[in-house]
Amino acid sequence: MTTIVNDFTLNIATANGTGSQSANLILLQSLFNMGIEVSGKNLFPSNISGLPTWYIVRVSDAGYQAPGDRTHIQVLMNPDTWAEDLADLQPGSVVIWNTDAKMVMDRVDVVSYPVPMTTMARTLNPKLARMVANVIYVGVIAEMLGIEDDAILAAIAGQFKGKASAIDLNTQAYRLGRTFANEELTKADPYAVEARGNPGGRFFIEGNEAAALGAIFGGVQMLAWYPITPSSSLAEGVINYIPKLRTNEHGEATCAVIQAEDELAAAGMVVGAGWAGARGMTATSGPGISLMQEFIGLAYFAEIPSVFWDVNRVGPSTGLPTRTQQSDLQMLYEGSHGDTQHIVLIPGTVEECFEFGWRAFDVSERFQTPVFGLSDLDLGMNRWTCEGFTYPDVPMDRGKVIRDRDVFEAMEDFGRYRDVDGDGIPYRTLPGSGMAPILSRGTGHDPSGKYSEKSHVYLDLMQRLRRKIDGARPHLPAPILREEEECDVGIVYFGSMENSIQEIDDIIESGGRKVSQCRVRSLPLHPEVEDFCARHKTVIVLEINRDGQLWGIMRRELPNHLVDRVHSVAYSDGMPPRASVYAERIIATIEEVEG
């Protein structure tokens, strides 16, 4: 039997509320501590206790982070999904199962490692046996795969930071599992791990925490939010960092935090803070954005800086609230009634979550318009390898806001909505300043801010707004390009698809075809996206949704001669993107196009 090193997918089936998350994170962190390329995905239910949860660990020297096409090692803890999980396994898979679950393990074509996990856990702590049993499987996996003892101990210490009794109990449970595996089980599977050196400066972080940290360094002054999965940890990240990073010498916060009564109010508070001259933000998910639409239109029309983070989950309606999707793009780009167009920043990595976390405020204040950060559950709530964060390389850009009366008085014929510089961006003064006060409004208004229903006034205003947002294109994050010399086929994608693209590319390449890639990082589209399309005979727009939302936007905005070459591969079943699923569809589309 040939040993398979650092190339397998491990799936742990538990019920939520049993404490399995900390055991799974210990496992993930221990592999990371050995310098191995590893990613973890938590497939959790919208529930607090008792419903099925799976944790998928992908170990890949190739650096693949998608969940993989099949499970190589299955841990069975949950009687409710036992039979189905077991039936799904391919012959030759490994099953590590809790014999105390009193369930049948009747597959004879798999490698079976029975372990009395609950019984063993009970010897350590009868009351916490259900929770401790999870750490037993960590010990068994560690022994069977050859995870280093030090790596596990460091992970346990990190997980329970300074809580001696928890560290002690978990260490004992881990050792019990490891010793049992060593003494009672005989290795009969090919899977193993090997250390790949020090992880160096890299660390694990969730996208939501990175975006929160970015907002903190972006000078957020007011956070208004309403709890919703999967965005709550973004708002809570901001809240958690305020005491350490955003208090003055008296310990007073330099950012107000208000838990709103609903998303409408959260949006209203963000608009109020922006109107008053501050950096306001909210974090929500698709259902929240639906409720915020009216305010989004007001902020666009009255030109109020405001930052909205959308951590996308599966819709429509409540949908699959704990699964991932890229289905809010169009709603953000064209949010609210009437003619609108919004700036959307789309991170694909945790480093970019941080960067766009601060940059969103600069863009919003520069263009005096709502700016969205679009993340998703996969990027936001799972842990990703991070190289580090780059400190903002530019000072805060507060935009065309006049705070100084001398500057104001030097301006001739000031008008709140006058296009003085020809870039569509007007100047503004703030409430309380006494300078050129107006009644900001969602009704039609002339360049001085006065109510108007005149046709030419409305027309000029709407054309200026379009010119303003159009003018933002080159100033927004440019796409990331990876181009082949042939330039026959180019893949356009965005957001968390970044974590699957390398594997998708390798699958396509293994079939003898090379494709270029262009990762869109902002809307409206950067001019380089059009250039990329012009350089490739066939362009495939790859996204995690049903209808091809980015594809639709591109078809509308690209020049006519490029439209026919742009094709859609859009697919979403609620799962994080598995590379082969998308690669197959890309290949089929290319073949169809080429006839």
Partner 1 sequence: MSETPARSQPIKLNIIDQPLDAYTGGPSSLCPGCGHDQISSVIISAAWENGVEPHRIAKMSGIGCSSKTPAYYLGQAHGFNTVHGRMPSVTTGAAAVNRDLLYLGVSGDGDSASIGIGQLIHAIRRNLDMVYIVENNGVYGLTKGQYSATAEIGSKKKKGKANEQPPIDLCALAINLGCTFVARSFSGSKKQLNALLKAAMSHRGFALIDVISPCVTFNNNDESFRSYGYVKENEVTLHMADYIPQRVPMEEIEVPEGHYRDITLHDGSVIRLETIDADHDPSDAVAALAALHKAADDDHHVTGLLYFDPDMPIMHDNLGLPEASLIDLPADALRPSEAALDAVVARFRGA
What is the per-residue binding string for partner 1 in 324-353, x denoting contact by CB under 8 A? ------------------------------
Contact flag: residue 571 with partner 1 (CB under 8 A): no
| Nearest Cα to Cα of residue 112 among 13, 192, 187 | 187
Specify the residue, 113 or 241, whose C-beta has the smaller distance to partner 1: 241
Q: Which of residues 234-263 bind partner 1 (CB under 8 A)?
A: 241, 245-246, 248, 250, 252-258, 260-262
Q: Residue 73 CB, nearest distance to partner 1 (Å)?
A: 26
The piece of 170-178, 264-272, 471-479, 575-583 that touches partner 1 (CB under 8 A) is: 264-272
Q: How far is the CB of 89 from partner 1 (least distance, A)?
A: 34
Nearer of residues 222 and 518 to partner 1, judged by Cβ: 222
Residue 399 binds partner 1, judged by CB under 8 A: no
Beta-carbon count within 10 A of 106 CB: 8
Rounded CA separation 174/177 (Å): 5
197 binds partner 1 (CB under 8 A): no
> Which of 73, 193, 386, 586 is the binder for partner 1 (CB under 8 A)?
386
How far is it, in rounded angstroms, from Cα 499 to Cα 67? 10
Interaction of residue 434 with partner 1, rule CB under 8 A: yes
Q: Does 216 bind partner 1 (CB under 8 A)?
A: yes
Interface with partner 1, residue 430, by CB under 8 A: yes
Interface of this chain with partner 1, residues 440 to 469, rule: CB under 8 A: 440-443, 451
Q: Which member of 82, 217, 384, 551 binds partner 1 (CB under 8 A)?
A: 217
Nearer Cβ to partner 1 (46/293): 293
Per DSSP, the residues of 483-528 read --SS-SEEEEEEGGGHHHHHHHHHHHHHTT---EEEEE-EESPPHH
Tokens representing 215 are 């907002």
Ranges within 148-167 binding partner 1 (CB under 8 A)? 158
Judge contact between 511 and 591, C-beta under 8 A.
no
Binding track over 348-377 against partner 1, x by CB under 8 A: ----------x-------------------
Report if residue 431 touches partner 1, rule: CB under 8 A.
yes
**Closest-CA residue to 228 (of 282, 147, 279, 155):** 282
Judged by DSSP in three states, 259 sits in strand
> At its nearest, how many Å lie between partner 1 and the CB of residue 295?
7
Site string for partner 1, 105-144 (x = CB under 8 A): ----------------------------------------
What would the DSSP string read from start to end of 393-419?
Answer: SS-----SEE--HHHHHHSSS--TT--
> In 188-230, where does DSSP find H-type helix?
207-217
Q: Considering the complex, what minimum distance in angstroms separates the CB of residue 261 from partner 1?
A: 4
Give the other-Cβ count within 10 Å of 418's Cβ: 16
C-alpha of 207 from chain center: 5
Contact range with partner 1 by CB under 8 A, out of 76-84, 97-105, 120-128, 266-274: 266-274
- Find the part of the chain contacting partner 1 (CB under 8 A) among 116-124, 214-222, 515-523, 552-560: 214-222
Minimal distance, residue 194 CB to partner 1, in Å: 23
Cis before residue 316, ω within 30 degrees of 0?
yes
Q: How far apart are CA 567 and CA 588, in angstroms?
A: 12
DSSP for 317-351?
TT-BTTS-----HHHHHT-SSSS---EEE---SHH
**CA-to-CA distance for 504 and 183, rounded, in angstroms?**
41
Site string for partner 1, 267-306 (x = CB under 8 A): xxxxxxxxxxxxxx-------------xx--x--------
Count residues near partner 1 (CB under 8 A): 72
Distances (CA, A) of 541 to 68, 349, 520, 523: 22, 19, 10, 15
**Using the rule CB under 8 A, which residue among 396, 411, 462, 487 binds partner 1?**
396
Nearer to partner 1, 165 or 248 (CB): 248
Of 432, 511, 512, 595, the residue at the interface with partner 1 (CB under 8 A) is 432
Q: How far apart are CA 593 and CA 223, in angstroms?
A: 48
